[in-house]
Amino acid sequence: MRVFVVDDSPLVRERLVVLLSEVEGVEVVGVADNAEEGIESIKELKPDVAILDIRMPSGSGIVVLEAVKREEDSPFIIMLTNYPYPQYRKKCMDAGADCFFDKSSEFHKVTDVLAAMVRQESASDK
């Protein structure tokens, strides 16, 4: 399963890459620190999953979400944010996000979801 990460925090990107590399069957195919690069890279690399931060100095993860969800065969989208407000959750889910997690309390759920997806993919291949 190919994963792309868009987050302006180098620490968060690094932590995600390390955590995701520990999930069997998951490969991080790239990272971006801003919305524009995230959109371009996701369209070019066509990952299975994109993990997006909402607030970045150069644009919003919601803009990335809306842009990539307009594409055919768009990736599974996990929003991972320090701003887990109901209005953001609603806007993201309405725009096509598949998951919405709070960085401060639900960070581990990202790997849980991906591990479950890998298991499900493996089971359907049999």
Cα radius of gyration rounded to whole Å, the chain: 13
Torsion of CA 50, 97, 57, 10, to 10 degrees: -30
Do 78 and 51 touch, CB atoms closer than 8 A? yes
Summarised one tens digit per residue, pLDDT across range 66-111 is 999 998 899 999 999 999 999 999 999 999 999 999 999 999 999 9
List 52's β-bridge partners, or say none: 6, 79
Q: Read off the pLDDT of residues 11-59 as tens digits, 9 standing for 90 and up.
A: 999 999 999 999 999 999 999 999 999 999 999 999 999 999 999 878 8
Residue ranges of the domains in the chain?
1-57
pTM as predicted? 0.95
Q: What are the start-end ranges of the H helices in 1-126?
A: 10-21, 35-45, 61-69, 86-94, 103-125
Instruction: Write down the CATH number for the domain with range 1-57.
Output: 3.40.50.2300
DSSP letter assigned to residue 29: E
